[in-house]
Chains A and B, each alone.
Chain A
Amino acid sequence: DAEITQSPRHKITETGRQVTLACHQTWNHNNMFWYRQDLGHGLRLIHYSYGVQDTNKGEVSDGYSVSRSNTEDLPLTLESAASSQTSVYFCASSTSTENTGELFFGEGSRLTVL
C-alpha cells in the first residue's frame, strides 16, 4: 500500500543546531506540504511543493527550508534550531490531478529544542 513516512518520529536537539526532518511518500503525488501543530494554533503551513524543483513559503516559513529533488521526498531543514520551533511536524501529500484530492498525512515528528 502507498504511504507517507516521516523520520525521525522523535528528536531532541539543542538551540543552534541544524535539524532535518525527512518525509517520503509512495503515492506518486506531485504536491507535498509541511505543517506544524501547536496547542492553540492548530495546523500551520510551513512550506509546500507542487513538483520537483518547486518550493513555496507558507505562513510560518521563517527559520525553515525545504528542497524537492525528486517526487517522493520533501525534507524539512531547521537551519539553526530555536526553542520556538519545539513542535509536532506533519508532512502531507496530495494529488494535483483531480479537484477532489484530499491530503494524506504522515504520523508526525515530535521535535524538542532545548
Chain B
Amino acid sequence: AQSVTQLDSHVSVSEGTPVLLRCNYSSSYSPSLFWYVQHPNKGLQLLLKYTSAATLVKGINGFEAEFKKSETSFHLTKPSAHMSDAAEYFCVVSEAYNFNKFYFGSGTKLNVKP
C-alpha cells in the first residue's frame, strides 16, 4: 500500500534563506510524485512532478525536488525563500500501475519571516 509522510507539520524560515520541506513515501511500485502548494483560501496548485525521468525535478517559482529511491524520499527545496512562498505544501504520490489513485501527505505549513 502507498503512504506519504511529511516529516514537519510547520517550517519557519527567514526571507532569503533556504527552504527544505521533507517527504518520505512508501510504494510497492515505481511511483509518480508531486508537490502541490496551497495559498490561503485557494485550491491546490502543482509545483512540480516526478515521473521516472530525471531524478532532480525543477518546478515553478524556483522550487526543486530530488527523487531518491534508496531513501524513498522526495524533499522539496528552494535556495532562497520569498515572502510569497508562505503557504501550505502537500506531497502526493500516485501508483505507477494505477495512476488514478492519489495519496496525500498531511501537509507542511511554511512560514517566511521578514
Contacts and interface: CB of A to CB of B under 8 A. Distances in A.
Interface of A: 31, 33, 41-43, 48, 50, 90, 92, 94, 96, 98-108
Interface string B23-45: 00000000010101000011111
Contact of B41 (A42, A48, A96, A108): A108
Contacts of B74: none
A90 B43 contact: yes
A56 to B, nearest CB: 10
B96 interface: yes
B46 A108 contact: no
B90 A99 contact: no
Q: Contact residue range for chain B?
A: 20 to 34
A41 B104 CA distance: 10
A99 B43 contact: no
B100 A90 contact: no
B33 to A, nearest CB: 10
Nearest to A31: B100
A69 B32 CA distance: 30
B108 to A, nearest CB: 11
Given A99-B99, A101-B99, A42 B106 contact: yes
9 contacts: A41-B106, A42-B104, A42-B107, A43-B104, A48-B100, A98-B99, A99-B97, A102-B34, A104-B46
Contacts of A41: 106
A72 to B, nearest CB: 18
B92 interface: yes
Given A98-B99, A100-B32, A103-B102, 17 more contacts: A31-B100, A41-B106, A42-B90, A42-B104, A42-B105, A42-B106, A43-B104, A48-B100, A90-B43, A96-B100, A100-B99, A101-B99, A104-B46, A105-B36, A105-B43, A107-B43, A108-B43
